[in-house]
C-alpha cells in the first residue's frame, strides 16, 4: 500500500458535481493498493497514520496526532499512485490491484482507520471519476509505502 498524506485545513471530494464528502482540519489520505497487499499492511499503515505527529502543539511544534487534535480524515482510492514511468511516456499501472482485490482491501483500510482514530472516516467512491479539492496546511505532505517502511 502506498499513501500520500496531506495535512489540510479543509478538503472535499465531488462526484458528478455533487459533494460526496468533506472535512475540515485533518488529513486527506490518497491510497494506492497493490495485488500483494494484505491485512498486515492495513494494520501497520493505519496505525502509522493515526499516530503520525504532524499537527502543531501549543508551541507551534508538529507534535500531535490526528486523534489528539480530534481531526477529521478523508480517504480516497488512488490507483495511479502505483504508476510506473520507467519506459516511455505512458504510465503503466500493472502493479495496481484490480477492483476485485482492491475494493475489499480499501473497505477494510477505511474500517481500520475509523477504529484507530475513533471517528468516522469520510470517503470518495471507489473507481469513480472524482474531483478532490483541498487546502494543504503547512504545506505538509508525507508519502508512506508499506513495502518500504522508512
Catalytic residue ranges: 80
CA distance 2 to 113: 15
CA distance 48 to 129: 28
For strands 72-77 and 122-123, give the pairing. parallel
CA distance 24 to 110: 18
CA distance 130 to 139: 22
Q: Are 11 and 23 in contact (CB under 8 A)?
A: yes
Q: Alpha carbon of 29 to those of 39, 78, 87, 92, 150: distances in Å? A: 18, 9, 28, 22, 18
Amino acid at each position: 500500500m502506498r499513501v500520500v498524506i496531506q495535512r489540510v485545513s479543509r478538503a472535499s471530494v465531488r462526484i458528478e458535481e455533487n459533494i460526496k464528502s468533506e472535512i475540515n482540519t485533518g488529513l486527506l489520505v490518497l491510497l494506492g493498493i497493490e495485488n500483494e497487499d494484505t491485512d498486515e499492511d492495513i494494520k501497520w499503515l493505519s496505525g502509522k497514520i493515526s499516530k503520525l505527529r504532524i499537527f502543531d502543539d501549543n508551541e507551534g511544534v508538529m507534535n500531535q496526532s490526528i486523534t489528539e487534535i480530534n481531526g477529521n480524515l478523508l480517504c480516497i482510492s488512488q490507483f495511479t499512485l502505483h504508476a510506473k514511468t520507467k519506459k516511455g511516456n505512458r504510465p503503466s499501472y500493472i502493479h495496481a490491484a484490480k477492483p476485485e482485490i482492491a475494493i475489499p482491501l480499501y473497505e477494510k483500510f477505511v474500517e481500520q482507520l475509523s477504529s484507530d482514530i475513533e471517528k468516522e472516516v469520510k470517503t470518495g467512491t471507489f473507481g469513480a471519476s472524482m474531483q478532490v479539492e483541498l487546502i494543504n496546511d503547512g504545506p505538509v505532505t508525507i508519502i508512506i509505502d508499506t513495502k518500504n517502511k522508512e
